[in-house]
Structure 1
Amino acid sequence: MVGRVGEAAVERPTRGRIESTLERIVEDNRFTIAVTFPVVGVVMLIAGRQGVLPAELAMNPYLLIGANLVMVSPLVAGLVPLLDRRATGGVAALALFTWGIELAGVLTGLPYGEFSYGIELGPMLAGLVPLGLPVFYFPILLNSYLLASLFLGETTVGRRFVLTLGTVLTLDLLLDPGAVALGFWAWDSPGAYYGVPAINYAGWLLSGSVATAILQVSFDHEAVLARLETCGFFLDDLVSFLLLWGLINAYFGNWVPVAVAASLGGVLLTSDWFDFDVL
């Protein structure tokens, strides 16, 4: 018994130091993480797509994952204090769901339609889907939940679910056209929306509903709201996402996704959350 109490006492200060270190690193480098990294990423990705840079550099899977981890670091630093056992279990369940639904998509064409990856996105699970897929998917889901929470505050679970899911679908309206233009992935039967078929969004409606439900039962919503009030960089990863994919879509002339990015960016800029001092 004494040993367990002693271990817990050691664990709490250790976790606290990790959390404070992460926060300090992110806080001291907010502009670099939220603005410089995505802008440099846009330049490299477009240069690689146009053959100006070797694809081995611009589209290097480990470089892509590493850069994404840097841009997602504000989200990670913001979430770490909220990770109790229930939330950690929910994140693990989301990872398993993410891999499972993507495997189903690749093997059966459902729920997203028949598609294939055009470039390597790191080590592959079962040789079919990227092992690092949660690194790319989680930010869309979590940022949608945070944005919904920011604007709804204390509200019913149903309203928060609807706005979170709607934001997830909106972010995919921005992501997929840019990814298709870069050659990240493509559908066997391209759709009218910049090569993206309607079935993809039906699939996101299904998978996003399940993922949002898992998320809602995993986190303490009151703790999330409190963290949003005190953590100034919590939504910086969403800024990176909008900037990265907004600029990529602008380069390729995908103006509807650009309008989506600009609209969501305007929402953030006019919210109480945004701090102009970071610029």
Structure 2
Amino acid sequence: MADGEPVTATNRSRADVQARLDALVRDNRVTIAVVFPLVGAVLLVASAEGVVPDPLAFHPLLILLGTLVMRSPLLVGVAPLVDRRAGVGILALAGYAYAIEFVGLRTAWPYGEFHYAIDLGPTIAGVPVGLPVFFLPLVCNAYLLSLLLLGRRARSAAIRLPAVIGTVVAMDLVLDPGAVALGFWAYTDGGPVYGVPLSNFAGWVLSATVTVLVLDAVLDRTALRDRLETCEFALDDLVSFVLLWSGVNVYFGNWGAAAVGGLFGVGLLRATRFDATPFVPARLR
């Protein structure tokens, strides 16, 4: 609750639910952020190699469920900060994500000509319903990581915003090559970055810029930094991202993409107020 906000039964109930969710995630950090992405990487690669039988290979509900579990530390971490203003902004960004993907599928702008090669679940006009769950948390992870690494320099929008946008595009340097290798989607004419065209990354600059500007406008950065002081698991979703997509890229020999993923792991270890203790073997602490 914000300072000065009257204590009501509703506020107490929300605080109780938040405390229980915090405890649930905190007590299961390794399972959520390590076991799930490693098992997911194995199942995705096995599906791509035809080892998993057809009814289960790339099962859209399993993909969405696994994604939601790995996203849960981030969702729980930022939940107390989502007021009406932030909620409206996030809903607007979900609509924007659908819109730009819809345009991209039909016009090849701004990402280049591509199509989904596997079933990612229910769609709206050809765009997967789960798209906001796949995309928006990536931007939020980039935002949180940038705030932690920049420290006081994050107070300057001229430093903060380009840093977050660049971080989002760097995340796609890990994501897209792995997704193409798995066969999630394909670019008609291929591309020089493990089958991904340069136009895709230019498109991500556009989509990241719009999303970052909106998030920056609707989130309370002071409250966000305060939350990061007490919420050691808020960036665990980024741990999952590194393990899953770097693992996939290593398997398919996308060494450059895997190396970029490794850099995110280094960034997490260097970030203040992010407790990496559960993920580091005792002998290395």
Normalised by the size of structure 2, how large is the TM-score?
Answer: 0.93
What are the superposed Cα offsets for residues 175-225 of structure 1, whole Å, 9 maximum, x if unpaired? 000000000000111101100001001100111111110110010011111
Give the aligned partner of residue 176 of structure 1. 176
Q: Is the 8 A contact 1:33 1:70 kept in 2?
A: yes
Once the two structures are superposed, the pairs formed by residues 222-237 of structure 1 within 5 Å of their partners are 222-237=222-237
What are the superposed Cα offsets for residues 13-69 of structure 1, whole Å, 9 maximum, x if unpaired? 221122112111100100000000000001111111111112431300011000000
Aligned-pair identity (%): 49
Q: Residue 56 of structure 2 aligns to a residue in which SS? A: helix
Give the aligned partner of residue 3 of structure 2. none
Q: Residue 199 of structure 1 aligns to a residue in which SS? A: helix
Query: Aligned residue pairs: how many?
Result: 272
C-alpha distance in 2, partners of 1:271/1:84? 26
Against the structure 1 CA distance between its residues 276 and 224, is the aligned structure 2 distance closer, same or farther, given a 3 Å change threshold?
Answer: closer
Normalised by the size of structure 1, how large is the TM-score?
Answer: 0.94
Q: Residue 116 of structure 1 aligns to a residue in which SS? A: strand
Runs of 4+ in 1 over 4 A off after TM superposition: none
Match status 1:133 vs 2:119: no
- C-alpha displacement of 1:227: 1.1
Comparing 142-151 and 49-58, the one that deviates more: 49-58
Once the two structures are superposed, the pairs formed by residues 235-274 of structure 1 within 5 Å of their partners are 235-274=235-274
What are the superposed Cα offsets for residues 155-188 of structure 1, whole Å, 9 maximum, x if unpaired? 2122110110000000000000000000000011
Counterpart code for 2:204: W
Q: Is the 8 A contact 1:49 1:55 kept in 2?
A: no
Gaps of 5+ in 1: 1-5
Give the aligned partner of residue 201 of structure 1. 201
C-alpha distance in 1, partners of 2:201/2:88? 27
C-alpha distance in 1, partners of 2:81/2:151? 17
C-alpha distance in 2, partners of 1:109/1:276? 40
Over aligned residue pairs, what C-alpha RMSD do you find?
Answer: 1.3
C-alpha distance in 1, partners of 2:181/2:113? 17
Counterpart code for 1:27: R
Give the aligned partner of residue 3 of structure 1. none
Give the aligned partner of residue 23 of structure 2. 24
Once the two structures are superposed, the pairs formed by residues 132-171 of structure 1 within 5 Å of their partners are 132-154=130-152, 155-171=155-171
Q: Is the 8 A contact 1:38 1:244 kept in 2?
A: yes
